[in-house]
Amino acid sequence: MTEQNQAPAPAKPIDPKVLAKKFRIDIEEAQAIVNQYGDDKKAAEKAARRVAA
């Protein structure tokens, strides 16, 4: 048997438009969040929730 060592798939970049629509925030705010947190979806969504509140 052969073992397949697969690296985890690279994270997809977060689309600011999708983030803005999902949390009902301005696209500019979503872009700033994406710039700050990069591909860390969990942190970006947490920041977006804070902005939306």
Question: Tens of pLDDT along 3-51?
Answer: 677 766 666 889 999 999 999 999 999 999 999 999 999 999 999 999 9
pLDDT recorded at residue 8: 67
pLDDT, greater one: 1 or 26: 26
Q: Give the integer Cα–Cα distance in Å for 26 and 12.
A: 21
pLDDT recorded at residue 5: 74
Q: Are 20 and 50 in contact (CB under 8 A)?
A: no
Q: What is the value of pTM for the model shown?
A: 0.76
Q: Give the integer Cα–Cα distance in Å for 51 and 47.
A: 6
